[in-house]
Structure 1
Amino acid sequence: MRASDVMTSNVISVTPEMTVQEVARIFVDNGISGAPVLDPDGQIAGMISEGDLLRRSEIGTDERPRASWLDIWSASHEARDYIKTHAAKVRDVMTTGVVTVQPGTPLGEVASILETRRIKRVPVTEAGRLVGIVSRANLVQALASVPEEPASDVSLSDSDIRAMLMGELAGRKWSFAGRNIVVADGVVHLWGVFHSLEAVEAVRVAAQNIPGVKRVDDHTEPYPVMPGI
């Protein structure tokens, strides 16, 4: 799936000259938590979200504890903080340098952007114009819309199950070392040593996704720890 398959097209936007109170009312009236900021030419100038409005002098949330390691830069830090909490216009409060995606961007790439940048939404542009927005909620909605596959009637042989599982594990960094996998009557037996419980759990999940697997029996042992010198 791609961004165009899940994006919200009727995007509510704001302008840099709006006041923060106007934006707050827009958020409340429309049940949204963020919006792109468009300049007079319709280009994205920034993004504004609930997070940008949390600390405001109007509601007495502008003061925050200052970490000691910031004391060196306290003057500039406090100046930026003051602008954020006291400025009346969106242009002074919004987040600039906005990353965007295109309608054809794969959802895997969109998810990586949301995760690595720790943002909740990303604008979708085409030829420089805003055409939609993809949020974390849109990705969850896409997942909820995928129909669950019925139980497969395919009956794989033990050797086919083992081959499929070994193929799935090939090249995985978490695949435990010294492993041996035995499949008997549809039951996958895991033998060998492992570096972490998570690695064994990942192998279990991989096995359970293969049609015909009845269960997974874990016979693995912890990776030996070298004695201290």
Structure 2
Amino acid sequence: MNAAEVMTRPVVTVEPTTTIRAASALLVDHGFSALPVVEPGGRLVGIVSGIDLLVHSIGQGGGALTVGQVMNTAVISAPLTATPTELAGAFLGNKLRCLPIVDARGRVVGVVSRSDLLRVLTPEDDVLAARVDRLLHAYSRTRRWTVEVAGGRVAVNGPFDDVAERRVVAALVRTVPGVVGVALGGVPADATP
């Protein structure tokens, strides 16, 4: 796996001539933490973060300022061939929130966010366990059950009040996309009386 398989595209970019008001609107609209700044040909020349825009919007009204006046030109990027380990190193070593991905000519072709990288580094069973645990906690308002997942098969262990509650818990767990089987207290849910 490499950056080309992890990155988000198409990438939203701005040019140095973009006003900080327009750049701020893009950040808000898309929920990004930063935007790559590119020349008209798409070559990466900087990055502008929400903090950069906020500081300059408050300090000077931001009306006439452009991205080129507030962007960071010491931008870190990664090639399409970067591995998840290399991407993680870039994030951790530089305290980044997003990382532009560039082709051999330096043109921005995608962006990797921390959540993009976590998504590929976190095993699916762990994600499924977290979803089931969150659902069961919302149902019972307690943490009386433990959840383990292997190959999409969910095991819920802990005390159940009665057979009806076992059935409710089994039904709730089956509503989570990706669940392929349910066991309650070591007994397959289909075998529960």
TM-score if structure 1 supplies the norm length?
A: 0.50
1:92 corresponds to 2:69: yes
Shift of 1:44: 0.5
- SS for the counterpart of 1:95 is coil
Match of 2:82 in 1: 105
- Give the distance between the partners of 2:30 and 2:75, measured in 1 at CA: 22
Deviation, 1:53, is 1.8
3-state DSSP of counterpart to 1:54: helix
Q: Residue 35 of structure 1 corresponds to which residue in structure 2? A: 35
Unaligned 5+ runs, structure 2: 127-148, 152-193
Residue in structure 1 matched with residue 20 of structure 2 by the alignment? 20
- 1:87 shift after superposition: 6.9
Q: Distance in 2 between matches of 1:42 and 1:35?
A: 13
Q: Which amino acid aligns with 1:28?
A: V
Q: Say whether 1:10 aligns with 2:24.
A: no
Deviations 1:139-188 (A, max 9, x none): 1222346345738xxxxxxxxxxxxxxxxxxxxxxxxxxxxxxxxxxxxx
The answer on 1:52 being equivalent to 2:63 is no
* CA deviations over 1:94-148 (Å, ceiling 9, x no partner): 1102222111111111111111111111111112222111111111222346345
**Structure 1 residues not aligned, in runs of 5+:** 63-81, 152-229
Where do 4+ consecutive residues of structure 1 move more than 4 Å? none
The answer to whether the 8 A contact 1:87-1:93 is kept is no
The counterpart of 2:95, out of the listed 118, 123, 126, is 118
Deviations 1:37-71 (A, max 9, x none): 11122211101111212323x43xx3xxxxxxxxx
Aligned residues: 127
Q: Which has the larger radius of gyration?
A: 1
Q: Tell me if structure 1 keeps the 8 A contact 2:21–2:63.
A: no
* Amino acid aligned to 1:125: V
Give the RMSD, CA atoms, in angstroms. Answer: 2.3
Percent of aligned positions that are identical: 32
- Asked if residue 135 in structure 1 is aligned to residue 113 in structure 2, the reply is yes
